[in-house]
Chains A and B, each alone.
Chain A
Amino acid sequence: MEKFVQLVVDGLSTGSVYAALALAIVLVHSATGLINFAQGGMAVLAAYFAWWLTNQGLPLIVAILLSIVFSFVLGAAVERWLMRRFERGDPDTAIVVTVGLLTLITGIAGWLWSYNNQQFESLFPLDTVSFLGVSVSVRSIGTTLVIVAAMILLQLLFVRTKLGLALRAVAINPQSAAFSGLPVGRLLMVGWGLAAVLGAVAGALVAPRLTLTPGMLDNALVYALAAVILGGLTSPFGVVIAAWLIGVLENLAAVYVPFIGFDLKVAVPFILIFVVLLVRPQGLFGRKTVVRV
Chain B
Amino acid sequence: MTLLELEDVTAFYESVQVLDGVSLSVPDQGAVGILGANGAGKTTTLRAISGTVRTGGRIVFDGKDIRGMRPDQVAALGIAHVPEGRGTLGDLTVRDNLRVGAYLRKDRKAVDTDIEYCLDLFPNLQDRITSNASALSGGEQQMLAVARGIMSKPRLLLLDEASLGLAPSTARNVYDAIHRLRTESGIAMLVVEQNANLAFTLVDSATVLETGRNVLTGTSAELRGMDEIRRAYLGG
Measured as residues with beta carbon below 8 angstroms from the partner, the interface class of chain A is 20 to 34
Q: Evaluate contact between B89 and A172: CB separation under 8 angstroms.
A: yes
Kindly state whether residue B62 has any CB partner on chain A within 8 Å: no
- Give the contacting residue for A175; candidates B52, B135, B137; CB below 8 A: B52
Among A168, A179, A292, the residue within 8 A (CB) of B71 is A179
Q: How far is the CA of A168 from the CA of B97 in the complex (A)?
A: 11
A178 pairs with B70, CB closer than 8 A: yes
**Hey, which chain B residues are within 8 Å of A166, CB to CB?**
100, 103
Q: Is A9 an interface residue (CB 8 A)?
A: no
Q: Complex formed: what's the CA distance from A162 to B102 in Å?
A: 10
CB–CB A173/B96 < 8 A: no
**What are the residues of chain B within 8 A of A279 when measuring CB–CB?**
none
Can you list, as one digit per residue, whether each of A175-188 has a CB less than 8 Å from chain B (1) or not (0)? 11111111110000
Are B52 and A182 in contact, CB atoms less than 8 angstroms apart? no
Residues of B within 8 A of A271 (CB): none
Bound: A289/B91 CA distance, A: 9
A291–B71 Cα distance when bound, in Å, is 27
Does A165 contact B99, Cβ atoms closer than 8 Å? yes
Contact B71 A172 (CB under 8 A): no
A169 touches B100 (CB 8 A): yes
Query: A178 touching B99 by the CB < 8 A rule?
Result: no
Complex: chain A residue closest to B85, CB-CB:
A176
Interface residues of B in 49-92 (CB under 8 A from A): 50, 52, 70-72, 75-76, 80-83, 87-92
Known A182-B100, A292-B134; judge A172-B83 contact (CB<8 A).
no
Alpha-carbon distance between A184 and B51 when the two chains are bound, in angstroms: 14
Bound-state Cα–Cα, A217 to B48, Å = 46
Asked if A290 is an interface residue, CB under 8 A from chain B, the answer is yes
* Chain A, range 157-201, C-beta contacts under 8 Å to B: 162, 165-166, 168-169, 172-173, 175-184
Alpha-carbon distance between A180 and B151 when the two chains are bound, in angstroms: 9
Q: Which of B72, B87, B91, B92 has the most CB of A within 10 A?
A: B72
| Most-contacted residue by chain B among A165, A173, A178, A291 (CB, 10 A) | A178
Give the docked Cα–Cα distance between A184 and B81 (Å). 16
Q: Which of A168, A176, A291 is in CB contact (< 8 Å) with B87?
A: A176
Point out the residues of chain B lying under 8 angstroms from A162, CB to CB: 99, 103
CB-CB under 8 A from A176, the residues of chain B are 83, 87-89
Interface residues of A in 240-293 (CB under 8 A from B): 290-292
The answer, yes or no, to whether B101 is at the interface (CB within 8 Å) is: yes
Q: Are B103 and A181 in contact (CB under 8 A)?
A: yes
| Closest partner residue, chain B, to A172 (CB atom) | B89
Inter-chain CA distance A292–B71, complex, in Å, is 28
Using known A-B contacts A169-B92, A179-B83, A180-B75, determine if residue A292 contacts B135 with beta carbons closer than 8 Å.
Answer: yes
A168-B92, A169-B89, A172-B91 given as contacts; is B72 within 8 A of A178 (CB)? yes
* Contact yes or no, A291 B134, CB < 8 A: yes
The distance in angstroms between the C-alpha atoms of A245 and B75, with both chains bound, is 46
Inter-chain contacts of A165 with B (CB < 8 A): 92, 96, 99-100, 103
Beyond A173-B87, A291-B134, whether A180 also contacts B92 by CB under 8 A is no
A181 touches B75 (CB 8 A): yes
Is B207 part of the binding interface, using a Cβ–Cβ cutoff of 8 Å?
A: no
Please, what's the 1-or-0 string for B161-173, where 1 marks a CB less than 8 Å from any CB in chain A? Answer: 0000000000000
Q: What's the minimum C-beta distance from B71 to chain A, rounded to whole angstroms?
A: 4
B152 interfacial contact with A, CB 8 Å: yes
Contact assessment for A180 and B148 in the assembled complex, using a CB-CB cutoff below 8 Å: yes
Complex contacts, A291 vs chain B, CB 8 Å? 90, 134
> Are B72 and A182 in touch, CB under 8 angstroms?
yes
**Chain A neighbourhood of B81, CB < 8 A:** 179
Minimum CB–CB distance from B138 to chain A (whole Å) comes to: 8
Residues of A within 8 A of B82 (CB): 179
CB distance from A168 to the nearest CB of B (A): 6
Q: Looking at the assembled complex, report how far the CB atom of B68 sits from the nearest CB atom of chain A, in whole angstroms.
A: 15
CB interface residues, B 116-166, toward A, < 8 Å: 134-137, 148-149, 151-152
Report whether A173 and B89 are in contact in the complex, using a CB–CB cutoff of 8 Å. Answer: yes
**Complex CA distance for A250 and B143, rounded to whole angstroms:** 51
- Within A130-180, which residues are at the interface with B (CB < 8 Å)? 162, 165-166, 168-169, 172-173, 175-180
Closest A residue to B52 by beta carbon equals: A175
Give CA–CA (A182, B104) in the complex, Å: 7
Interface centre among A166, A173, A176 (most CB of B within 10 A): A176
Min CB–CB distance A150 → chain B (angstroms)? 23
Given known A-B contacts A168-B92, A180-B75, A175 and B83 have beta carbons under 8 A apart: yes
18 inter-chain pairs at a CB distance below 8 angstroms, sorted by A residue, are: A165-B92, A165-B96, A165-B99, A168-B89, A169-B89, A169-B103, A172-B89, A173-B87, A175-B71, A177-B89, A178-B72, A179-B87, A179-B149, A181-B72, A181-B104, A183-B72, A292-B134, A292-B136
Give 9 closest A-B pairs by Cβ, nearest first. A176-B87, A181-B75, A178-B71, A181-B104, A179-B81, A169-B100, A178-B72, A172-B89, A181-B76
